[in-house]
Amino acid sequence: MRTSRWIALCAAAIALAASSLSSAQDKVSLRLNWYLGGLHVPFYYGKDKGYYSAEGIDLTINEGRGSANTVQVVAAGSDTFGLADSSSVILTASKGADIKSVMSLLNTTGYSVVSLAEANIKTPKDLEGKKVAVTPGDPLGQLLQALCKANGVDCNKINLVQVDPAAKVVTVLEKKADALLGGVDDQYFLIKYKGANPAAMRYADFGGNIVGMTILTSGETLKKNPDLVKRFVRATVKSWEDAKKNPGAAVDAALKAKPDLNRQSTLDQLMVDIDLLDSKNSKGRIGWGAQADWDQTLALLRNYRDLQTDKTWTTFHTNEFLP
């Protein structure tokens, strides 16, 4: 009898220890590319729904200050994962940073020429003779050259007005410029919710597509904890899949973290980003990167952003952690 009781107690102790171990959560941080907006809603939704904790992840989401900065802090080990545009990942990695994309999240870029509808800018040719607001050093300005070349446009006939990032929308609204170079999920809605009627001409529709946003991590994390990467990717895929099905509920989860967000604007942004998940080459799997998209991205960066590398796309991105 005592033996049976002893065995039962041992079994209970083992079960308790196993439960304690299984409930241990890996502390993980995700650095966004910018302040919380529609693009970031699915991550907050996944955290709120418990998708990350179900994978053994205690997730902290940190707002960002631009993709370039996000790449740097992930490379330095300050954050476990980062959300950044592909060009920032590629250009930084090509210079020796030990980082890699593990999710090709938005496979169509949101880069656009954003204007007031009355400016009647519908094709790249319509830009000739127009004033366009751009931020110095902004990749959109450099990739505009690709748009011009692909569409027989004389870029010298476009008057680029140099302004600070925050001033681009105001410059267009005050009609000091006919258009701005920005995002279809960003400046477009900033103009709309100022009461104006915006229009957007997407780079992707006129031969200027590059892979948009990616999830990256450091080489050290990939080497030391590949299982963590796999679990994080799996939870992120589920978060985005559920946000696609329930966008309103996803936005409400983000509002818990930042109550002063404009709900409708954030929802509008999210719907655009959901539309940007796929390219013609990558349809069907959230986070999966197509070689054709990454090859085109590398080609455009070599031609227009002074990328110096002969390395292939798999140096910068991997699909191996997708479920």
Q: Around Cβ 213, how many Cβ atoms within 10 Å?
A: 27
In DSSP terms, which residues pair with 83 in a beta bridge?
215
Question: How confident is the model at residue 15, as a pLDDT?
Answer: 47
- What tens digit of pLDDT does each residue of 90-141 get? 999 999 999 999 999 999 999 999 999 999 999 999 999 999 999 887 888 8
Residues 6+ apart with CB under 8 A from 3: none
In DSSP terms, which residues pair with 213 in a beta bridge?
85
Fold of 111-206: D-Maltodextrin-Binding Protein; domain 2 (3.40.190)
Give, in words, the CATH class of 7-108+211-315: alpha beta
Return d(Cα 285, Cα 152) in angstroms, integer: 34
Give the residue range(s) of CATH 3.40.190.10 domains in the chain. 7-108+211-315, 111-206
In DSSP terms, which residues pair with 62 in a beta bridge?
31
Report CA dihedral (290, 294, 297, 299) to the nearest 10 degrees.
-120
Task: Split the chain (323 residues) into runs of 10 and give each run's mean pLDDT.
Answer: 53 46 81 95 98 98 93 97 96 97 97 97 97 89 93 96 93 98 94 96 95 97 98 98 98 97 96 96 92 97 94 98 95
Question: How confident is the model at residue 9, as a pLDDT?
Answer: 52
